[in-house]
Structure 1
Amino acid sequence: MSRFPSIGAHAQHPAYGVLRKVTDTASVMLADNPSIMTLDGTNTWILRAPDSVSCIVVDPGPLDEAHLTRVAACGPVATVLITHGHPDHEAGARRFAQLVNAPIRANNPSLCHNGAPLTGDTTVSAAGLRLKVLATPGHTADSICLLLEDDNTTAVLTGDTILGRGTTVVAHPDGKLADYLTSLRLLATLPPNTQALPGHGPELPDVTQIATAYLAHREQRLAQVRTAVEQLGGSPTARQVVEVVYADVDRILWDAAEWSVGAQLEYLRTED
């Protein structure tokens, strides 16, 4: 679950509106949409080979004209890619595509515009780069990651499957815990020192370590949920389980926790 320690005075965040280079081929611009769920805001990624004029934009972010205009200024844009269909990542995509005259591609066909859907066997070649699409459902049914390999670095854009801080909500009922665990196991098999370039929060040096830690966290939570179900008896609601398992967590996070607990209860009913 995303954790956002403070949203006070967010307009002063030094990263808003600033293009920050992260690798030789990946730069990030932070959208000004902080919240409990989005941390400091949504990361919009701009990808291009060092000798490329055009770029790939991943997750244009919310419908924020100022943010979209600043990202558009990084163009020309060859294509727009969406990691999943939550509004903080894609609500601005259609407007952005108009600004830069580029196609939109996503796993969910309804989000695509003048471009084919992205599936687990898709490779995107643009802006001098090759991106391998990894199907990583769980946070949502349509979540994907994008594996970027070049001569100097290997990185994976993780959307909300892995965050730069905290852990991810399994957005039940669209998101499924069984799918999410499978996706984490896939990410844990990537080469060591593959950087994680997340949809929220800072980049991380080794996605395999983080995916392994996420798996351990999910197993711990599942054990806590099992115990809570036994204590409560019958068929407790997700909210009742949250009140037990997350008793020491700020209540402002309980609504988000309820999604993940709903996914855990479904998992226990169908997979255990």
Structure 2
Amino acid sequence: MTLAHPAYGQVRAVTPIVSVVLENNPGMMTLDGTNTWILRAPGRDECVVVDPGDQDEEHLARIAALGPVAMTLITHRHVDHTGGVQRFFELTGAAVRSVDPEFLRGGGEPLVDGEIIDVAGLTISVVATPGHTRDSVSFTVEGEGTVLTGDTILGRGTTVLDDSDGDLGDYLSSLRRLLDLGPGHRVMPGHGPELPDLHTVARQYLDHREERLAQVQAAIADLGEEATAREVVEHVYSDVDPQLWPAAEKSVNVQLAYLRAPN
């Protein structure tokens, strides 16, 4: 029987190169849980792991057992993607590469936008996609038309922008950059199921952000220039479950910063 998302703790093949193991850490910010991606070229023993996940011994050991792991790549700094980095390095000895130097291990160097990584028979391109966080990157896998988007694009719903270092201007630019990759790319997100067409979902994300930004501008016009993020959330997200308002407030904080920044 072919596995489908969500399938906790099982290796689920998505393409001839890409497989996923879903960590059993569901929540408001993680949806069904965090996707750990395993990239393996046909006929090769070694693999590349993208986002080992949180500090979950069972999950980390399961991923390590799929090795040997040639390299670990990180899409962004959030703990549900990186909490297990040190333990995973201990289990595998594989170099860890990320934008944020905090997560580098085993001689791994910081990821650079536009860099081509040749490892374990794979060719992986680094695409800087900041906005969700400052350090967010995506990865394309040559020959497959697959893009691992981290939390820049999710398998369902929309991305929350982190109000500690997220930036709406950067995020809109990142979505346009992914859109410019053109049709024929599949999305392998940090959370949720894979999606068949990056071009379509990136366009939907852009349209949604522009719609929300217009709603926030309208709310400020009604509430006054000094309106707080919480007041805007209550005004704009009145049809959304209030349990989701704290997450919405993060994105609204980022939107307000964008609107209030000097031209």
**Global fold match (TM > 0.5):** yes
Structure-1 residue corresponding to 2:52: 60
Q: Aligned to 1:193, which of 184, 200, 219? A: 184
1:210 maps to 2:210: no
Structure-2 residue corresponding to 1:48: 40
- The alpha carbon displacement at 1:234 in A equals 3.3
Q: 1:116 to 1:199 in 2, by over 3 A?
A: same
> Which structure 2 residues correspond to residues 8-19 of structure 1 after superposition, within 5 A?
15-19=7-11
Structure-2 residue corresponding to 1:117: 110
Answer whether contact 1:57 1:81 (CA < 8 A) is retained.
Answer: yes
Name the aligned partner's letter for residue 138 of structure 1: G
- The alpha carbon displacement at 1:271 in A equals 6.7
SS in 2 for 1:208: helix
What is the count of residue pairs matched by the alignment? 258
- The alpha carbon displacement at 1:270 in A equals 2.0
Q: Per-residue CA shift, 1:120-151, capped at 9, x if unaligned?
A: 0322111210110000000000000001112x
SS in 1 for 2:67: coil
Structure-1 residue corresponding to 2:31: 39
Q: Per-residue CA shift, 1:182-222, capped at 9, x if unaligned?
A: 00000001131200000000000111111111000000000
In 2, Cα distance between equivalents of 1:91 and 1:134:
23
In 2, Cα distance between equivalents of 1:176 and 1:203:
25
In 2, Cα distance between equivalents of 1:270 and 1:208:
30
SS in 2 for 1:46: strand
1:268 maps to 2:259: yes
**What is the Cα-based RMSD across aligned positions, in Å?**
1.2
In 2, Cα distance between equivalents of 1:90 and 1:124:
20
SS in 2 for 1:231: helix
Structure-2 residue corresponding to 1:78: 70
Structure 1 spans left out of the alignment, 5+ residues:
1-12
Q: Percent identity?
A: 57
Answer whether contact 1:147 1:154 (CA < 8 A) is retained.
Answer: yes
1:142 maps to 2:128: no
In 1, Cα distance between equivalents of 2:147 and 2:74:
14
1:177 maps to 2:165: no
Answer whether contact 2:6 2:32 (CA < 8 A) is retained.
Answer: no
In 2, Cα distance between equivalents of 1:220 and 1:270:
19
1:161 maps to 2:146: no
In 1, Cα distance between equivalents of 2:135 and 2:108:
16
TM-score (norm 2): 0.96
Q: Aligned to 1:235, which of 223, 226, 238? A: 226
Q: Per-residue CA shift, 1:233-254, capped at 9, x if unaligned?
A: 1311111100100111001110
SS in 2 for 1:57: strand
Structure-2 residue corresponding to 1:93: 85
In 1, Cα distance between equivalents of 2:207 and 2:18:
29
- The alpha carbon displacement at 1:172 in A equals 1.3
In 1, Cα distance between equivalents of 2:258 and 2:55:
35
Q: Per-residue CA shift, 1:106-127, capped at 9, x if unaligned?
A: 0111211120000103221112
Answer whether contact 1:47 1:127 (CA < 8 A) is retained.
Answer: no
Q: Per-residue CA shift, 1:28-77, capped at 9, x if unaligned?
A: 00000000111110000000101111000000001000000100110000
Name the aligned partner's letter for residue 204 of structure 2: A
Answer whether contact 1:195 1:207 (CA < 8 A) is retained.
Answer: yes
In 2, Cα distance between equivalents of 1:143 and 1:184:
12
In 2, Cα distance between equivalents of 1:253 and 1:184:
23
Structure-2 residue corresponding to 1:248: 239
Q: Any runs of at least 4 consecutive aligned residues in structure 1 with deviations exceeding 2 A, and if so which?
A: none
Name the aligned partner's letter for residue 126 of structure 1: V
Structure 2 spans left out of the alignment, 5+ residues:
none
In 2, Cα distance between equivalents of 1:112 and 1:96:
12
